[in-house]
Chain A
Amino acid sequence: MTFGRPAKVLLTIIFIGLLAIPIVIQRISARRAAEDVNLDRKSALARYGFRFEEVSHAAGVNFVHQAPTFDHRLDPIMPEVASMGASVSIVDYDRDGWPDIYVTNSAIGSKNALYRNMGDGTFKDVAEELGIADVNQPGTGVSTGAVWGDYDNDGYEDLLLIKWGKPELFHNDQGHGFTRVSEQAGLPAWLNASTALWFDYDGDGLLDLFIGGYYSEDVDLWHLQTTRIMPESFEYAKNGGRKYLFHNLGNGKFEEVSGKLGINSKRWALASSAADLRGSGHPDLFVANDYGVSELYFNDGKQFREVGEQTGVGFAPKSGMNVAFGDILNDGRYSVYVSNISEEGVLIQGNNLWVPKEGTSGDKLQYENLARDFGVELGGWSFGAQFGDLNNDGALDLYLTNGYISLDRNRSYWYDFSKVAGGNSSIISDAKNWPAFEGRSLSGYQSKRVWLNDGAGKFINVAQAVGVTDTYDGRAVALVDLWNRGVLDVVVANQKGPLLIYKNDVSPANQWIEFDLEGTASNRSAIGAQVTLFWKGHQQVQEVSGGSGFASQNERRLHFGLGRDPQVEKAVIRWPSGKVQTIDKPAAGQILKIKEPL
């Protein structure tokens, strides 16, 4: 060597320093995470401007989700194949001005629930009397999700129920009951879907329907022809369920047009949502796939183009489980949040926050994943997430639920999972090759995330501090102003767990405004209508959604937090029909009911 012993000693010291770097980083992260835990109500309000209280029991909601039991040949991995089905969607089914809650159940013979908001802080399950409870009967499959939309424009939201099994469409009979119209509508006899959404893709004023298949539609999970029902690859699987796009013909019938219009994927769809990402006037469709890349379909009103790779969102395969849109930078553009899996020491996929790249727009729109920069990357085995201004400070925050399978706390299935996931397609695709769960957990008992947006590109997790302390296996999240107080409450559906209602207590100093839209030329649910609000130099856009997150649907009313002493300049509403309506200086602190001008 040219350098002698001193140089070698120096290099050794540097080497030891290099080895210490990960430990130091880990310690710093742990110290940060330990801060702010379990603040009392007063301190949380003072520091973050809000605090949650879980009130389901007090509100009369005692719903506990039940998981299905499939063909006995799946027994060894039953916890995994039966790991989804808990969903929640918000609807005001009887138009009484109080948002109601619909939740699905997934065991054969179990019942779904429609919690009618009594307006006094309590709820009453009316699903049975209205005919939408007993929908998990033998031979028909079990529920995995529900979305609401007024497909016949009669003023009442109708219910689409998706299943591992027969999908169902229920017509809302003016809030007094529901009539099953699945056959008349032309829905398929069987599919295995975990995501669906209402949207008017062609702008004809009638709500169309997208359903994304997960397992192949020829699989009956109770009567397997073969055990080769699993994905052929952990990251590149294309042997999942087909996609359906049902065009609303306006006479109570739908025509399936997916192939004709350019949607031909057989990836394993877990979540989907639609929004006008390019300002084209047509909703684009985003699909998050398990075992593969996400898909983004640009929609010109007549045809869909898959542009995942082109836009950057469909390049790196992960385990997509959520699609939520949010104007997190208050610049009039949507970012997209897709949840994935992160398990310490095993699999660090990281969630994706797709932020529009500077200088790109329209057909040239591109995204970059800034989840790490913004601090919303690691959320465990993440499922449903929604954007919403939880403390009314004027910036959209992010609520994420997580946790996959919580069984024995001390024994993990991860080793076996990683063993098989890396295997060849002939091994991974056959359920009989998967080692038995034997009561072990897989990313169970996880802490949730409530990421508070500082408005300048940083989110901090305040879940524990603001009272979100549950560790159930969370699936679906819906945001809703349950008691018309101008705050966003959170409803969480947990797999094999209770339905949670987190009532939000927000500092009154921060103001708000809400928009309750009704279409006339556009679909009556106003799904796809955009409101851009301008106040104190801010500009935030939100869109009425027919389904977002994971197996969930937020309330259709749009909620804007405004911060202190707001002076709202104007609200610009762009209706799906193309009409643009401007409301000057709307007063804060009110729910504005607006009907599309004729």
Chain B
Amino acid sequence: MSAQHNAPIVRPPAEGARWKRLISLDNRYVAPIFITCILIAGHLSFGILESYRKTGLAIIASILTELLLGRLFFGKWPNLASAYITGISVGILVRSPAFWPYVLCSVISITSKYVLRVKGRHIWNPSNFGISVLLFLAADTVASLSIQWGNYLWPMLVIWVLGSVIIWRLRRFHISGIYVVSFVAFAFLRSWIIGSPWQSEIAPITGPMYQLFVFFMITDPKTTVRSKLGQCVVVFLVASLEMVMRLDQVIYAPFYALFIVGPTAMLIEIWLDSRRAKLASARA
């Protein structure tokens, strides 16, 4: 049979389908486009970037590291969507008057994907790893975004609604949803335990740092467990550990909680997978 005969019959798409295809985006590009929109909107409305150069540096360092390591270790040019998100997250979340932390954080973040691997899977969300490491090791030079975007209601609502729609489309809304509900419940619990105003306990999640954390870090497909139930349990555990850390007044509790819980869950899943595979091969 000729190739022509074997080729599937291609019919011209219906008008509606063509239109749908035009406005549809490959899921890989939804998150980068969303984070770019947040960056541009935040910058144009509130000037969130102290320096274009720093954010640019973070993105460039991230992309170059990905290109280099991807080519060297996998023999092909990697898709750069993930590196772009990492770079832009570093550019927004890292606050430092110096330039080197932006470069270093991006390089560490991307390199961690290639070094810290178990059974072919990297176990830390890259930007969570890079930012946590820098906050821990370079506290004299680096802080993280905890304020900005005006603290006003409307920008916050727009980002939450848009982010929720997008994350729904990516079928990961349950992760963000469970985290937010857990955070709020724990906020009231903390308020009850330590006697502080509940508004002050809720306050952090109304800020932009959490928007990036909720939509981009905890939902990263590469560094979350596979089952939906597992994802819900893991993100609840992240919120739980964060609650404990907050009682101990750890300022960057969400980053550190994810830093600890995320890889632990991944390792457990990898171990369970390998155990299942062994059992299956033994049965075979």
Count A interface residues, CB 8 Å: 59
Contacts of A1 in B (CB 8 A): 73-75
List residues 1-25 of chain A with CB under 8 A from any CB of chain B: 1-3, 7-8, 11-12, 14-15, 18-19, 21-23, 25
Interchain nearest-CB distance for A393 vs B (Å)? 28
Partner among B74, B75, B202, B251 whose Cβ is within 8 Å of the Cβ of A415: B251
Contact A426 B153 (CB under 8 A): yes
Partner among B97, B108, B200 whose Cβ is within 8 Å of the Cβ of A416: B200
Answer whether residue B118 sits at the interface, using C-beta atoms and an 8 A cutoff. no
Contact B140 A345 (CB under 8 A): yes
Contact B138 A22 (CB under 8 A): yes
Partner among A29, A235, A317, A414 whose Cβ is within 8 Å of the Cβ of B140: A29
List residues 405-434 of chain A with CB under 8 A from any CB of chain B: 412, 414-416, 418-428, 430, 432-434
Contacts of B39 in A (CB 8 A): none
Answer whether residue A464 sits at the interface, using C-beta atoms and an 8 A cutoff. no
The chain B residue with its CB closest to the CB of A232 is B151
Partner among A23, A415, A435 whose Cβ is within 8 Å of the Cβ of B197: A435
Contacts of B156 in A (CB 8 A): 424
Is chain B's interface secondary structure helix, strand, loop, or mixed overall?
A: helix
Answer whether residue B46 sits at the interface, using C-beta atoms and an 8 A cutoff. yes
The number of inter-chain residue pairs (CB within 8 angstroms) is: 167
A428 to B148, CA, bound (A): 13
Answer whether residue B114 sits at the interface, using C-beta atoms and an 8 A cutoff. yes
Contact A432 B147 (CB under 8 A): no
Interchain nearest-CB distance for A374 vs B (Å)? 12
1/0 per residue, CB under 8 A from B, across A15-50: the answer is: 100110111011001000000000000000000000
A276 to B156, CA, bound (A): 41
Interchain nearest-CB distance for B113 vs A (Å)? 11
A35 to B97, CA, bound (A): 24
Contact B137 A23 (CB under 8 A): yes
Answer whether residue A371 sits at the interface, using C-beta atoms and an 8 A cutoff. yes
Answer whether residue B41 sits at the interface, using C-beta atoms and an 8 A cutoff. no
Answer whether residue A560 sits at the interface, using C-beta atoms and an 8 A cutoff. no
Contacts of B153 in A (CB 8 A): 424-426
Contact B206 A424 (CB under 8 A): yes
Contact B114 A344 (CB under 8 A): no
The chain B residue with its CB closest to the CB of A372 is B97
Answer whether residue B196 sits at the interface, using C-beta atoms and an 8 A cutoff. yes
Answer whether residue B244 sits at the interface, using C-beta atoms and an 8 A cutoff. no
Contact A434 B115 (CB under 8 A): no
Contact A19 B137 (CB under 8 A): yes
Contact B203 A423 (CB under 8 A): yes
Interchain nearest-CB distance for B73 vs A (Å)? 5
Answer whether residue B221 sits at the interface, using C-beta atoms and an 8 A cutoff. no
List residues 167-215 of chain B with CB under 8 A from any CB of chain A: 196-197, 199-204, 206-209
Interchain nearest-CB distance for A457 vs B (Å)? 17
The chain A residue with its CB closest to the CB of B248 is A415
Partner among A235, A315, A419 whose Cβ is within 8 Å of the Cβ of B204: A419
List residues 321-377 of chain A with CB under 8 A from any CB of chain B: 343-350, 371-372, 377
Answer whether residue A123 sits at the interface, using C-beta atoms and an 8 A cutoff. no
Contacts of B111 in A (CB 8 A): 11, 14-15, 18
Interchain nearest-CB distance for A234 vs B (Å)? 4
Partner among A293, A345, A348, A435 whose Cβ is within 8 Å of the Cβ of B200: A435
Answer whether residue A316 sits at the interface, using C-beta atoms and an 8 A cutoff. yes
Answer whether residue B227 sits at the interface, using C-beta atoms and an 8 A cutoff. no
Contact A414 B72 (CB under 8 A): no
List residues 45-94 of chain B with CB under 8 A from any CB of chain A: 46-47, 50-51, 69, 72-75
A21 to B101, CA, bound (A): 10
Contact A434 B138 (CB under 8 A): no
Contacts of B75 in A (CB 8 A): 1-2
A419 to B70, CA, bound (A): 39
Partner among B133, B141, B150 whose Cβ is within 8 Å of the Cβ of A235: B150
Name, among B46, B114, B134, B251, the residue most crowded by chain A CB atoms within 10 Å (CB to CB). B251
1/0 per residue, CB under 8 A from B, across A371-406: the answer is: 110000110000000000000000000000000000
Interchain nearest-CB distance for B250 vs A (Å)? 8
Answer whether residue B164 sits at the interface, using C-beta atoms and an 8 A cutoff. no
The chain B residue with its CB closest to the CB of A13 is B115
Interchain nearest-CB distance for A317 vs B (Å)? 7
Answer whether residue B107 sits at the interface, using C-beta atoms and an 8 A cutoff. yes
The chain A residue with its CB closest to the CB of B195 is A436
1/0 per residue, CB under 8 A from B, across A137-179: the answer is: 0000000000000000000000000000000000000000000
Contact A22 B134 (CB under 8 A): yes
Contact B199 A423 (CB under 8 A): yes
Contact A422 B200 (CB under 8 A): no
Contacts of A26 in B (CB 8 A): 137-138, 140-141
List residues 143-159 of chain B with CB under 8 A from any CB of chain A: 143, 146-148, 150-153, 156
Contacts of A14 in B (CB 8 A): 111
Partner among B135, B140, B150, B201 whose Cβ is within 8 Å of the Cβ of A419: B201
A430 to B200, CA, bound (A): 10
Contact A424 B147 (CB under 8 A): no
Answer whether residue B240 sits at the interface, using C-beta atoms and an 8 A cutoff. no
A109 to B30, CA, bound (A): 63
Contacts of A7 in B (CB 8 A): 72-73
Answer whether residue B112 sits at the interface, using C-beta atoms and an 8 A cutoff. yes
Answer whether residue A233 sits at the interface, using C-beta atoms and an 8 A cutoff. yes
Answer whether residue B284 sits at the interface, using C-beta atoms and an 8 A cutoff. no
Contact A22 B141 (CB under 8 A): yes
Contacts of B147 in A (CB 8 A): 233-235, 421-422
Answer whether residue A236 sits at the interface, using C-beta atoms and an 8 A cutoff. yes
A490 to B4, CA, bound (A): 91
Contact B108 A3 (CB under 8 A): no
Answer whether residue B249 sits at the interface, using C-beta atoms and an 8 A cutoff. yes
30 A–B contacts, CB within 8 A, in A order: A2-B72, A2-B75, A15-B112, A18-B108, A25-B100, A25-B138, A25-B141, A26-B140, A233-B150, A235-B150, A235-B151, A344-B139, A345-B251, A346-B251, A347-B143, A347-B146, A348-B141, A415-B250, A416-B249, A419-B201, A419-B203, A422-B206, A422-B208, A423-B151, A423-B207, A424-B152, A424-B203, A425-B151, A428-B203, A433-B199
Leading 7 A-B pairs by shortest Cβ distance: A423-B203, A345-B139, A422-B207, A22-B138, A350-B97, A415-B249, A2-B75
17 extra interface residue pairs, beta carbon distance < 8 Å, beyond A317-B47, A421-B146: A1-B75, A3-B72, A15-B108, A22-B137, A25-B138, A232-B151, A236-B152, A316-B47, A345-B139, A348-B142, A348-B143, A414-B251, A416-B200, A421-B147, A426-B153, A427-B206, A428-B151
Q: Which residues of A contact B (CB under 8 A)?
A: 1-3, 7-8, 11-12, 14-15, 18-19, 21-23, 25-26, 29, 232-236, 293, 315-317, 343-350, 371-372, 377-378, 412, 414-416, 418-428, 430, 432-436
